[in-house]
Amino acid sequence: MSFNIPLEDNIGKLVMPENLSIGMMVARQHKKCQEIGCEFDYYGFAFGQSPFPVPDALQKSLSENSHAGHYSDSAGINDLREAVAGFNLKHFALDISPERIIVGPGTKTIIFMIFSIVKANVIIPSPSWIGYSPLVKFLGKEPLSFPLSPENDYKIDPGELDSFLNKRSGHDLLVLNNPNNPTGVVYKRDELKQITEICRKHGTLVLSDEIYALTTYELENFHSMGAIYPEGTFVTNGLSKDRSAGGYRLGTCVLPEQTTSKLKDSFIKLAASLYSNVTTPIQLAAINAYQENPRMEEYFHITRNIHRIMGKNLSEKCNQIEGLKATVPAGGFYFLLDFNQLGDKLREKGIISSDELAPALLAHPYHIATVTGRSVFVAPTNFSARISFVDYDGKAAYQDYKTNPQENKAEEEKFLAKHGAHMLSGLNDLKEFVAHLME
């Protein structure tokens, strides 16, 4: 006899994140091609995973801490929170007490906790990272979409934000992701100040997702919203992107200045009820990843430069394809590719909505894996695709850059040709996709 197990309505509001499912499919095909050969391989522009090895010091520290089987502090162990505070001061000019730091099992969970605890409507810019809106919906709230325009480099325009907030009542929480996934844009200090003025005026809180901060190509261009709007900002970050340790599942949150004990206790209560603590050996290992360490600085330097070479060059090449328009990233490992000039041609081929663009690009003979449509939180009429430029052997690229730093554009082109050959082939197939539309 089989039970008909009833499911809660809210679980139906979650969809399997498309980037993860496509990412797994691409990884399986890459493996098959390497092991037994294959007729075709996918171009993995969908999944946003750092391609580099976890820093040696972090790996070593994890193996040294495997004995730590005890439960630990739900907010995060003290030594780790102190190390995170020191790291925030050094890198982001965020002078905060460790008391304002919460450590959680990945940034995603931390973001979910903020949405769960703060009684506010969540404003999500469009386009945005795939992760925010399902979590808001799961909590029974409806996210408010704030449209961004290419004319404004897909940044939040303070005047438009002001008009948007003028029409609102009640408490709002604005999601700001800087550097941005999917566009790669990085906000200037003045732009953050202007957004702050508007948020102060309306009493709007900000969730500043800064998980790509240390991948900003010209690091001096990154400014943390936590330092500009300290009283109203939750800053989230973690080990997943700049230290290539997504699977370690460790994220951090800096709570707003003058956080009440009620707010902090709410995080601790929820953490204790949901997962007790972040895996103790991971927390102990992570202390190492947050402490002052020249080898870690070298790691950040090399990896951000490789991201820059890949991102700038590939987006430039996309911009040379007639009918396409790519953002030029200034941080992170994504850019947004706009197919809207080809809208009529796409519709003629039966690609009616942006959700159908990704399957069309993935289909034979193109095999280009991307995420589009609702997975980048855009309207069905907006034919834009997120391109993630991490489909290469990060270990080989890292070693090569370390022994042979790239000095100029010509050397970078050679580096791209050597390490990004598979992605360059993907762009050739993209050209063919566009040419086929034009026929």
Ligand X SMILES: Cc1ncc(COP(=O)(O)O)c(C=O)c1O
Supply the minimum distance, in Å, between the C-beta of residue 42 and ligand X.
Answer: 19
Give the orientation angle of helix 261-274 with respect to helix 107-117, to 10 degrees.
Answer: 120
Does residue 179 have a cis peptide bond before it, meaning omega lies within 30 degrees of 0?
yes
Rounded to the nearest angstrom, the gap between the alpha carbon of residue 128 and the centroid of all alpha carbons in its chain is 9
Query: Exactly one of 131, 143, 281, 331 binds ligand X (CB under 6 A); which one?
Result: 131
- Counting residues that bind ligand X (by CB under 6 A) gives 14
Question: Which residues, 6+ apart, have CB-to-CB distance to 257 below 8 Å?
Answer: 96, 100, 230, 231
DSSP letter (8 states) at residue 356: G
Task: Indicate whether 177 belongs to the interface with ligand X (CB under 6 A).
Answer: yes
Instruction: Give yes or no for residue 307 binding ligand X (CB under 6 A).
Output: no
* Residue closer to ligand X (CB basis): 129 or 267: 129
Spell out, one character per residue from 83 to 122, where the chain touches ligand X: x when CB under 6 A holds, - when not. -----------------------xxx--------------
Rounded distance, CA 210 to CA 205, Å?
A: 15
| Cα R_g (the chain), whole angstroms | 22
Nearer to ligand X, 182 or 342 (CB): 182
The verdict on 209 binding ligand X (CB under 6 A) reads yes
**Is 234 a residue that touches ligand X (CB under 6 A)?**
no
325: left (phi over 0), alpha (psi -120 to 50) or beta: beta
Closest residue by Cα to residue 357 from 26, 16, 366:
366
2: three-class secondary structure by DSSP: coil
Which of 367, 349, 345 shows the shortest CA–CA distance to 358?
367
Give yes or no for a contact between 354 and 342, defined as CB atoms under 8 angstroms apart.
no
**By the rule CB under 6 A, 372 interacts with ligand X:** no
Of the pair 106, 125, the CB lying nearest ligand X is at: 106
Residue number with CB closer to ligand X (22 or 211): 211
Q: Rule CB under 6 A: say whether 216 interacts with ligand X.
A: no
Cis peptide before 98 (omega within 30 of 0): no
When binding is defined by CB under 6 A, the residue of 181, 233, 303, 354 that contacts ligand X is 181
Which residues in the 240-259 window bind ligand X by CB under 6 A?
240, 246, 251
Q: Give the x-and-dash track for 35-74 against ligand X (CB under 6 A).
A: -------------x--------------------------
Contact residues for ligand X (CB under 6 A)?
A: 48, 106-108, 129, 131, 177, 181, 209, 211, 238, 240, 246, 251
